[in-house]
Chain A
Amino acid sequence: MTATTSAPPSRPQVLARTAREKTPMTKKRREALAAYAFLAPDVLGLLIFVAVPMVLAFGVAFFKVDGFGNYQYVGLANYKLMGSDDQLWASLKITGIYVVAFVPIAFVVSFALAMLVRNHFKGIGWVRSAFFLPNVVSLVVVGLIWQFLLVDKRGAISNLLAPLGLGDVSFLGTPSLALGTYVVISVWFLMGYQMLVFLAGLKDVPKELEDAAEIDGASAWQRFRYVIWPLLRPTSFFIVVNSTIGAVTGLQAFDLVYVLTKGGPARATSTVVLYIYEQAFTFNNMGYAAALTTVVVGILVLCTGLMFAFTRGGRFDED
């Protein structure tokens, strides 16, 4: 609130100064002052609510924090604890499997959808909206919807699968199936968004280039492989990075599992971010949760770095 008012009050003095002397030097200063005033609210906000927490995580990681907010310095104890924390390793493995399954499946599905709705046909508007619609409702609603559809024996999915003899399968109640179910639901939720990003990328593929290839006798596959695919590289790179980060630390890794399975059954869908949340707010181990946070940040920085290295930097940030 105080930040909002910081811009206008600086004006009178600034105007007064220019009235006195209007040399290039003061105009420069005037412009800089105005710029800082314009930036102040957002920069302060981002510092307090993003940058400070980031740094704080690395500090709190060396403390034991009890329920009353008392801090006790414990050195590396939180990090040493991780070695023997089986649930942590289990949740890291679950997040790993989730990433390895979700990222490629979502990529292929949304790319296929983008190719399908790329060229105009009757009703294309509704089709595009339909694919995007699941992304509009909240993850809580998505979780509730699928819980209802997947209710054991009586749910719509069981009814659909009954003729195939699969009516008794408990998709959310069987540890070996729950993670896969979570992947499928995530793809359903995010495919429309990724499809839109692909469509935006496809717009930059000149139609003439494809037509020329077709005239030269290139098959559909060849046109895809040698014209579309290379030109779509920056978009593909963005999708892979973005969806990997989302799979590890996005809201889909928390909201959806929290509502759908609470990490169960038998912790089969306990993602890392859900585990950190539990440590912090169920067991009140803030210090340990902060230490875990730093590990996730480390993993994320490492993954992004590796992806940039392997792809020699998917150049999507020119301009």
Chain B
Amino acid sequence: MRTRFFPILAHVLAIIAVAPLLWILISALKPAEDVFSFGWPSTWTLDNLQYVLLKIPLPTFLMNSAIVSVVVTVVALFFHSMAAYALARLRFPGRGIIFSGIMSTLLVSLPVILVPLFLVAKQLGLLDSYAGLIVPSIFHAFGIFLLRQYYLNIPRELEEAADLDGCGYWRRYWSVILPLSRPVLASLSVLFFLANWNAFLWPLTITRNPDLRVIQLGISGMQGQYASAWNLILAAAVIAAIPTVVVFVAGQKRLVDAMKTTGLK
């Protein structure tokens, strides 16, 4: 009896947890006049989705988000794995200090440094540009930390073989370490993609140009413009959420592995 109770409770709670998301999906497929009707829609329609994709520059917003997220993810993985390789495998003066320095930035979140970061970005001429959306989003200590932990556990013998073959450090990193870190890079890429696709505050701060709007800005902007057209707002929100849910479902195991390591160990 007791052993049955908890699994059933878990299933019920799980349904309650996802209910708001499912409700939005269903509501986005209702005709405009039915959007508040409490229950299963009498008729299903794709009009809302069609409208926001054709009449609102949603495809532009999606494109901008895709460009920013993919570029940030790729460049960040490259830089972080290089830094992590040096921190995990090479001996050099100042390693301890550099590592603690990098780690100390972990506590700093975007809302805290937003104002001075904006001033720095302005000074560097990054306002209203793709570079402004991309470059400051690349640098984050978490990825370096996670990759370093991973590299500490790769057997040294593998690298020593490459050393005997006369490979330089670059070749060792590129041909030995990088291919071995595929699993952890995959986990991090899921994490980075989601974080950047979902980014709102930095794009809000750094861009004014409507052509540079990312998807999160685009849908939050609909609040004012389409204040009472909930069918359209929901359709846009669903479109913005689909890539994240797809990436989550596809990379779920990897994401969970990376998440579990956050901060611990």
Contact = CB atoms under 8 A, between A and B. Distances in A.
A303 B58 CA distance: 42
Nearest to A34: B169
A296 B233 contact: no
Given A129-B249, A242-B262, 17 more contacts: A7-B82, A32-B90, A54-B108, A134-B20, A137-B245, A138-B200, A138-B241, A138-B244, A139-B198, A143-B220, A144-B223, A196-B259, A201-B264, A251-B110, A251-B201, A254-B111, A293-B113
Interface string A269-285: 00001001100110000
Q: How large is the interface on A (under 10, 10 to 19, 20 to 34, 35 or more residues)?
A: 35 or more
A8 B78 CA distance: 14
A144 B264 contact: no
A114 B262 CA distance: 16
A259 interface: yes
Interface stretch (B48-56, B114-122, B154-162, B180-188): B114-122
A191 B117 CA distance: 30
A246 B154 CA distance: 33
A127 B14 contact: yes
Given A50-B139, A121-B7, A196-B259, A293 B168 contact: no
Interface of B: 6-7, 9-11, 13-15, 17-18, 20-21, 23-24, 27, 36, 38, 78-80, 82-83, 85-87, 90-93, 95, 98, 101-102, 105, 107-120, 122, 124, 135-136, 138-139, 141, 144, 168-170, 173, 194, 197-198, 200-201, 205, 216, 219-220, 223, 230, 233-234, 237, 240-241, 244-245, 247-249, 252, 256, 259-265
Contact of B168 (A14, A201, A258, A276): A14
Closest 10 CB pairs of A and B: A138-B198, A45-B139, A130-B14, A53-B116, A32-B92, A200-B260, A38-B86, A34-B169, A121-B7, A35-B90
Interface in A248-303: 249-251, 253-255, 258-259, 273, 276-277, 280-281, 286, 289-290, 293, 296-297, 300
Contacts of B265: 316, 319
A49 B117 contact: yes
Q: Which of B110, B116, B138, B240 has the most CB of A within 10 A?
A: B116
Given A250-B111, A286-B119, A136 B82 contact: no
Interface string A217-235: 0000000000000000011
A206 interface: no
A258 B7 CA distance: 37
Contacts of B115: 57, 60, 276, 280, 286, 289-290, 293
Contacts of B170: 7-8, 11, 34
What is the predominant secondary structure among interface residues of chain B facing chain A?
Answer: helix
Contacts of B120: 48-49, 52-53, 56
Contacts of B21: 133-134, 137, 145
Nearest to B2: A220
A300 B112 contact: yes
Contacts of B259: 193, 196-197
